[in-house]
Amino acid sequence: MSIEELFIGSEAGNAAYRAAMEQATDAVVDSVTDTETPYSGRSPTELAGQLTEPVIPEEGMQLNATIEDVAKTVLAHSVRTAHPRCAAHLQCPPIIPGLAAEAMLTATNQSLDSFDQAPAATVLEQRVVDALCDLFGLPDGADGIFTSGGTQSNFQALLLARDWYCAQEFGRDVQAEGLPTEASSLRIVCSEAAHFTATQAVHYLGLGEDAVVTVPTDDAHRIDTDALDATLADLDRRDCDPFALVGTAGTTDFGSIDPLTDLADRAFDHGLWLHVDAAYGGALALSDEYDDRLVGIDRADSVAVDFHKLFYQPISCGALLLRDEQQFGWMARNAAYLNPEDHDDAGVPNLVSKSVQTTRRFDALKPYLTFRTLGRTGLASLVESTLTLADDASQLLADADDFRLVNDPTLNAVVFQYRPETNMDDDAVSRLNAAVREELLAEGRAVVARTAVDGVTSLKFTLLNPMATLDDVAAMLDIVRECGTAVRTESGVVV
Ligand SMILES: *Cc1c(COP(=O)(O)O)cnc(C)c1O
């Protein structure tokens, strides 16, 4: 291959680009078309056995041969996110406008860390962020930044909250001086169902995970506000310094949404930063039918939202939104080569100061193309259809004698246990459901998640796919039954 054929721009390069993209597109289409199952069922060992080509060969080979090889060894053994029986995690089928945007943003390779590396992209990201602040009802003066996802958004939100609190409470400039001597009394408060990345962030922030105070949840897996009040009073008595309250809009297991208005009231009364982790449930803001479930989110100091979940964008795509743009100041810095101070004075857009990343993808293009193609209501109707499906699925489970429905879904996560006999004890249920899950993946006929509910291993559908129907759910339950019977026969348990 000539050098020209390796880069877009020349006639030869453009032709090579088109050919490679066409072949790659065909390979993707072939890998997902007419497949009976969401996964081929290959085990880690089997996959390792078929991926033996040298990763860094001395001499290369033709690109089309490599793409062909990848199609056979990798794409064919990938989870098919658009398959109606792929229903395990918050892993969406990526929407075509998002995929088209992905192709454009990667090929142009704009980097959002400075205006001169991404002129129009910089301006567009800011416009998308402004529209998102409006969507969530944040006031004038709100701002945000695209992130790699909820993990990064939660981390950055709690970092800003910590530094804001230390400045006002202890007169400490954490960016310059590090943690104050009072750091060991700092606490963040969240429910026991909050995402693990909130706890992880507190570790990264140098406060230690013991600084996370978890509050029990109610029957619907939302933070229990009476218990929250007791917790806050207790922290007060013990002279602790809670600085952030984390609410979750869409917990990973149950999709439950904390009572955000109550949390906003508590945050106000106690001078806490309210962070709402809406990585999963944020998409309800699109829906006229369901946006009332997020009431109170407009009072948050910060909101984490993921577009690579219920907004159907290819990974990665998330954002952190802040009620007050000034709060980004806790992490701002000027680098002579990227955003010198005289640029700030001249009004040159400067996104790097708002991000924990430097080189950063133009992920904002993906929701932009999607919003403009479908409109708010078009995208909302996809989300709404999955919530309807989850309700119908839970009814199906509730009506079945051999299943126990564990939650009444708020979003589209449905948790259940396979209990073919009424008198099974919890240990037996745990063993059976764990074994069934393994068998499902090994067969590849349905991709279903597992979780633990009050110590009992349970199964979970995350019904993100707007193309899935109740028949698909019923088929998955039948497959669970078949696997369950096979597992019990194998283990010698009388069926
Ligand atoms: C997915 C998720 C996260 C983590 O987000 P990533 O995009 O995976 O980094 C955090 N919180 C909640 C509630 C989530 O659903």
C-alpha 147/C-alpha 355 separation (Å) is 8
Pocket perturbation via mutation, ligand 1, pick of 197, 297, 302 by most ligand atoms within 8 A of CB: 197
C-alpha 154/C-alpha 199 separation (Å) is 10
322: Cβ contacts below 8 Å, ≥ 6 apart: 142, 143, 144, 157, 160, 301, 302, 328
Note the helical H segments in 110-181: 119-135, 150-170, 174-177
In this predicted structure, what is the pLDDT of residue 494? 53
Domain with 124 in it: 111-361
C-alpha 98/C-alpha 409 separation (Å) is 27
Based on the fold, state whether residues 434 and 457 are members of the same structural domain: yes
Pocket perturbation via mutation, ligand 1, pick of 199, 275, 284, 306 by most ligand atoms within 8 A of CB: 306
- Report CA(359)–ligand 1 centroid distance (Å): 22
Note whether residue 468 is domain-resident: yes
Note whether residue 190 is domain-resident: yes
C-alpha 415/C-alpha 88 separation (Å) is 11
Note whether residue 94 is domain-resident: no
Residues linked to residue 246 through DSSP beta bridges, in sequence order = 190, 275
Tokens of 23: 């072949």
Based on the fold, state whether residues 357 and 399 are members of the same structural domain: no
Note whether residue 61 is domain-resident: yes
> How far is the first Cα of the chain from the last one, in angstroms, to the nearest whole number?
62
- Report CA(446)–ligand 1 centroid distance (Å): 23
pLDDT of 317-376, one tens digit each?
Answer: 999 999 999 999 999 888 888 888 888 888 889 999 999 999 999 999 999 999 999 999
Across 226-246, average pLDDT: 98
Based on the fold, state whether residues 235 and 139 are members of the same structural domain: yes
Long-range residue pairs from 211-219, CB within 8 A, at least 24 positions apart, any chain? 211/186, 211/187, 212/187, 212/188, 213/187, 213/188, 213/189, 213/242, 214/189, 214/190, 215/189, 215/190, 215/191, 216/191, 216/192, 217/191, 217/192, 217/193, 217/256
C-alpha 360/C-alpha 97 separation (Å) is 21
Note whether residue 249 is domain-resident: yes
State which of 30, 55, 77 marks the end of a domain. 77
CATH number (domain holding residue 54): 1.20.1650
Is the separation of the CB atoms in 408 and 394 below 8 Å? yes
Sheet holding 447-453, edge to edge: 86-87, 447-453, 456-462, 413-418, 403-405
Note whether residue 368 is domain-resident: no
C-alpha 52/C-alpha 60 separation (Å) is 15
Note whether residue 188 is domain-resident: yes
CA-to-CA separations, 63 to 5, 190, 272, in angstroms, rounded: 11, 50, 55
In this predicted structure, what is the pLDDT of residue 371? 98
- Report CA(200)–ligand 1 centroid distance (Å): 12
pLDDT of 44-75, one tens digit each?
Answer: 999 999 999 999 999 999 999 999 999 999 99
In this predicted structure, what is the pLDDT of residue 266? 98
311: Cβ contacts below 8 Å, ≥ 6 apart: 92, 282, 283, 317, 367, 370, 379
Based on the fold, state whether residues 233 and 348 are members of the same structural domain: yes
Note whether residue 175 is domain-resident: yes
Based on the fold, state whether residues 349 and 387 are members of the same structural domain: no
Ligand 1 pocket by C-beta < 6 Å: which residues?
90, 149-151, 154, 195, 197, 248, 250, 252, 277, 279-280, 306, 318
CA-to-CA separations, 200 to 158, 218, 256, in angstroms, rounded: 11, 24, 21
State which of 330, 361, 392 marks the end of a domain. 361
C-alpha 202/C-alpha 157 separation (Å) is 11
CATH number (domain holding residue 126): 3.40.640.10
**Does residue 381 register a pLDDT over 90?**
yes
Q: By alpha-carbon position, which residue is closest to atom 15 of ligand 1?
A: 280
C-alpha 113/C-alpha 99 separation (Å) is 23
Based on the fold, state whether residues 310 and 451 are members of the same structural domain: no
The pLDDT > 90 percentage for the chain reads 93
State which of 51, 77, 103 marks the end of a domain. 77
**Does residue 1 register a pLDDT over 90?**
no
Based on the fold, state whether residues 273 and 410 are members of the same structural domain: no
Nearest to 318 by CA among 354, 371, 361: 361
C-alpha 84/C-alpha 94 separation (Å) is 13
**Does residue 39 register a pLDDT over 90?**
yes
Is the separation of the CB atoms in 467 and 93 below 8 Å? yes
C-alpha 38/C-alpha 82 separation (Å) is 8
Tally the residues of the chain: 495
Tokens of 167: 């400045």
Based on the fold, state whether residues 174 and 262 are members of the same structural domain: yes
C-alpha 110/C-alpha 67 separation (Å) is 25
Based on the fold, state whether residues 293 and 379 are members of the same structural domain: no
**Does residue 177 register a pLDDT over 60?**
yes
What is the residue-averaged pLDDT of the chain? Answer: 96
CA-to-CA separations, 3 to 7, 8, 13, 16, in angstroms, rounded: 7, 10, 8, 11
**Does residue 493 register a pLDDT over 80?**
no
Buried b or exposed e, range 188-216, using 16+ CB within 10 angstroms = bbbbebbbebbbbbbeebebeeebbbbbe
* pLDDT band at residue 418 under the 50/70/90 scheme: very high
In this predicted structure, what is the pLDDT of residue 338? 80
C-alpha 398/C-alpha 405 separation (Å) is 6
Based on the fold, state whether residues 65 and 142 are members of the same structural domain: no
The atom number, within ligand 1, closest to the CA of 197 reads 10
In this predicted structure, what is the pLDDT of residue 112? 97
Tokens of 124: 């567009």
Based on the fold, state whether residues 116 and 39 are members of the same structural domain: no
Buried b or exposed e, range 322-336, using 16+ CB within 10 angstroms = bbbeebbebbeeeee
Domain total of the chain: 3
Q: What is the DSSP string of 195-254?
A: -HHHHHHHHHTTS-GGGEEEE-B-TTSSB-HHHHHHHHHHHHHTT-EEEEEEEEBS-TTT
pLDDT of 126-156, one tens digit each?
Answer: 999 999 999 999 999 999 999 999 999 999 9
The atom number, within ligand 1, closest to the CA of 315 reads 7
Q: By alpha-carbon position, which residue is closest to atom 4 of ligand 1?
A: 150
Is the separation of the CB atoms in 92 and 312 below 8 Å? yes
CATH number (domain holding residue 426): 3.90.1150.10
Across 18-28, average pLDDT: 98
**Does residue 240 register a pLDDT over 70?**
yes
Based on the fold, state whether residues 334 and 204 are members of the same structural domain: yes
Give the number of other CB atoms < 10 A from CB of residue 260: 25
Residue type present at position 12: A
480: Cβ contacts below 8 Å, ≥ 6 apart: 418, 436, 440, 446, 448, 459
